[in-house]
Homo-oligomer: A and B are copies of this chain.
Amino acid sequence: MRGAREWLAEFVETGIHEYLPHLSVDCSIFGFHGGELKILLVRWKGLERWCLPGGYVGREETVDDAAARVLEERTGLRQIYLRQHRAFGATARGESVLREILANLGVAAPPDLWIFHRVVTVGYLALVDFAEVEPKPDHLSAEVRWWSVLDHPPLLFDHDEILADALAALRNGLDRGTIGRNLLPEKFTMSELQQLYEAVLGRSLDRRNFQRKMLALGVVERLAERRRGVPHRAPHLYRFVPSPSDPADANGSS
Contact = CB atoms under 8 A, between A and B. Distances in A.
B247 A91 contact: no
Interface in A14-73: 20-23, 57, 59-64, 66
A98 interface: no
B62 A20 contact: no
Interface string A217-254: 10000000000000000000000000000111111111
Contacts of A60: 91
A76 interface: no
Interface stretch (A4-12, A135-143, A183-191, A197-205): A197-205
Given A120-B57, A252-B206, A254-B205, A213 B247 contact: yes
B22 A174 contact: no
B61 A91 contact: yes
Nearest to A205: B252
Contacts of A250: 209, 213
Contacts of A64: 89
Contacts of A66: 89
Interface residues of A, number: 46
A145 interface: no
A90 interface: yes
A223 to B, nearest CB: 21
Interface in A105-153: 118, 120, 122
A97 interface: no
A244 to B, nearest CB: 11
A81 interface: no
A157 interface: no
A80 interface: no
A2 to B, nearest CB: 29
A195 interface: no
A35 B148 CA distance: 48
A189 to B, nearest CB: 17
Given A209-B249, A209-B251, 8 more contacts: A21-B21, A57-B89, A59-B118, A61-B91, A175-B248, A206-B251, A209-B250, A213-B247
21 contacts: A57-B89, A57-B120, A61-B91, A62-B89, A63-B120, A171-B248, A174-B247, A175-B247, A175-B248, A197-B248, A201-B246, A203-B253, A205-B249, A206-B253, A206-B254, A209-B249, A209-B251, A210-B248, A210-B249, A210-B252, A213-B252
